[in-house]
Amino acid sequence: MNTYLLPVFAIVIGAIIAFITKNQKSIGTKLLLSFSGAFLLALTLFDLLPEVYHHLGAKQTGLFIICGILLQVVLEFLSKGVEHGHIQKYKEDKKIPWVLFISLCVHSFLEGFPIHHHNDIVYGVLIHKIPIATLVTTFLLKSSYSKIQIIGFLIVFMTMTPLGTYISNNMSLTAEYINFINAIVIGVFLNIATIILFETEEGHSFNLSKLVMICFGVFIANLI
């Protein structure tokens, strides 16, 4: 049950943080984002990647990981980095940007697939989604969207990861197809985690704190 509920709790926690800090520029959110990126990357390398390589051929695995990386590049292009805090692109638009909405939902949906066979990954997704949900909710609150639009967006966004987990658990997909999808998800995770970790801060004033959080994220992932 936790595999379904924890990603939902992450969105709720992130939304609450955004409501509390909506008028403030929070370095804490950026630090949490760095921690989450390192934590998710480490769990992917420690847990999910070896399992997929064990079941699939090396070339097959590499090919699908590259496909996942390219897919996330496309999703990043469509969302214009809103999930990384680049929220100014849609700020003045009163209509829901459906391309942004769909790209975020596709990313969230794919995150749910590997959770069935890799329970540790759910913690990576949990930690990853809290700052993402905070940034996305902050973007929505600073935009011109109505409360109904914001709530509707968050509810649909909230259900995407559990939906991916449910489909992975209950559809009659062969183990090979599940591993193909998991390899794609690895590519998605690798792309988004490395962007979070290596995105340069203006003035480089944030780098030492960021490095500490990255090391802490890897350390905690190693303990799980």
Give 184-208 pLDDT, tens digit per residue.
999 998 988 888 887 655 555 557 7
Handedness of CA 77, 10, 131, 141 (dihedral sign): positive
Q: Are 38 and 161 in contact (CB under 8 A)?
A: no
Q: What is the pLDDT of residue 193?
A: 85
* C-alpha neighbours within 13 Å on the C-beta side of residue 124: 33
The parent domain of residue 99 ranges over: 2-19+27-83+90-223
pLDDT at position 64 is 92
Percent of the chain with pLDDT over 90: 11
How close are the terminal C-alpha atoms of the chain, in Å?
A: 19
The Cα–Cα gap between 215 and 35 comes to 8
Number of structural domains found in the chain: 1
